[in-house]
Structure formats: C-alpha cells, structure tokens
C-alpha cells in the first residue's frame, strides 16, 4: 500500500478499495459471479450508499461467456438509467476481453440500444464498440455496417475506430514480438 493510501481514514480506504474488490470478484471468483449478479439486482431497489454501480461495473469484468451475455441483457432492461445501460455494453467490450460478444449483442439489438443513446452519441455509439478489437478485418465489418445502418455523420467516428483498431493490432504485434525476444 502506498503511504498516502495508508494515511486515509479507514472508511475512506474501504470505499477506495471496494470497486477493485468487486471488479476482481466479477472477473475471477466463481462464487463472486453469482454473488455479484444477485447483489446488483438487490441493490437496484435498496441503494442507500450508491454502491449499485460498483456491482454493475464488476459484472462487466466477467470472462464467462454465459455471464457476459446475461450482463449485456441488462442493457435492454429498465434496471439502469439509459446512459448507464448503453455504457454497460462498451464496458463489457473493454473489461471482459470479449468485444466480439458485445458487438454480437449490439448488432442483434441495434435499434433498441440506439433508442437509448442521446442524439449526440448516436453516430459514434457503434463505432466506439469496435475500438476494442485488434483484428484489422473488423474495420471492413464496421464500414459495411455503417454504410447500411448509420448516417453520413458517423463517417468520422468510423474512421477514428478504424485507426484505433489498426493501432491496437500493431501494438499487439509489437508486444508479442518483444515478449518472444525475451525468451
């Protein structure tokens, strides 16, 4: 622990560490998956301390495809405010290391999700989900989807996402080469 963290009052340290603990449980602990899923729903009705979002965030860290799909399904319910619901899909894409499942879900539920996005975010929502891919083949998939379903105003966010995919692909390739050189 850092010196600054240790000097915080115990209650402050507890609050600071809570999110990291729940994220860890959501990702790795077998018992944590069931606990977090049940707790998130129960906290939705009784959230006196504002902890509900920590539990929903932790669900996004899951690596089990079945739990990822259950977490994504929450985005279509009224369980979360609309801004949090649509953000949950991109959080799953980033934190679960399974952007493919998030994209499959968003593609299948495109109209329902887009109805929850505000006017400013409508053109960038789908392209933002692609920024977590490292496969350059996804660029053409994004462009095809955008041509078929998004307005012309989405052209810039699509190209930004394409650039991010290329960057991630190149970074991944370089890191793999460097790790191989260490052996």
Q: pLDDT per residue over 135-182, tens digit each?
A: 999 999 999 999 999 999 999 999 999 999 999 999 999 999 999 888
Q: Is residue 67 in a domain?
A: yes
Q: What is the pLDDT of residue 70?
A: 86
Do 18 and 91 fall into the same domain?
yes
Q: Is residue 110 in a domain?
A: no
Q: Is residue 108 in a domain?
A: no
Do 90 and 163 fall into the same domain?
no
Q: What is the pLDDT of residue 5?
A: 44
pLDDT at 55 over 80: no
Do 125 and 70 fall into the same domain?
no
Inter-CA distances, 160 with 20, 60, 114, 156, Å: 30, 24, 19, 6
Structural domain for 175, as ranges: 117-183
First to last CA, the chain: 31
CA distance linking residue 15 with residue 18, whole number of Å: 5
The stretch 29-57 carries a mean pLDDT of 61
CA dihedral 160, 145, 68, 85 (to 10 degrees): 70
Q: Which of 96, 127, 162 corresponds to the end of one domain? A: 96
pLDDT at 13 over 70: no
Under the banding of pLDDT at 50, 70 and 90, the label for residue 44 is low
Here the tokens at position 17 are 């560490």
Phi, psi of 173 (to 5 degrees): -60, -45
Q: Which of 61, 96, 131 corresponds to the end of one domain? A: 96
Q: Which of 125, 65, 76, 120 has the alpha carbon at shortest distance from 98?
A: 65
Q: Is residue 1 in a domain?
A: no
Q: How many domains does one find in the chain?
A: 2
Q: Is residue 4 in a domain?
A: no
Q: What is the pLDDT of residue 56?
A: 78
Q: Is residue 23 in a domain?
A: yes
pLDDT at 28 over 60: no
């Amino acid at each position: 622990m850092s010196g600054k963290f240790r000097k915080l009052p115990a209650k402050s340290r507890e609050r600071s560490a809570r999110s990291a603990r729940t994220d860890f449980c959501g990702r790795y602990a077998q018992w944590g998956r069931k606990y977090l899923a049940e707790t998130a729903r129960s906290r939705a009705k009784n959230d006196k301390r504002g902890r509900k979002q920590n539990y929903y965030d932790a669900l996004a860290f899951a690596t089990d495809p079945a739990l990822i799909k259950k977490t994504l399904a929450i985005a279509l319910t009224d369980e979360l405010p609309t801004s949090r619901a649509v953000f949950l899909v991109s959080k799953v894409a980033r934190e679960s290391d399974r952007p493919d499942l998030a994209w499959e879900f968003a593609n299948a539920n495109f109209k329902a999700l887009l109805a929850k996005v505000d006017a400013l975010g409508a053109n960038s929502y789908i392209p933002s989900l692609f920024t977590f891919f490292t496969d350059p083949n996804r660029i053409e998939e994004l462009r095809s989807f955008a041509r078929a379903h998004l307005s012309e105003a989405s052209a810039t966010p699509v190209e930004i996402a394409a650039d991010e995919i290329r960057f991630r692909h190149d970074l991944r390739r370089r890191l793999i080469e460097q790790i191989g050189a260490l052996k």
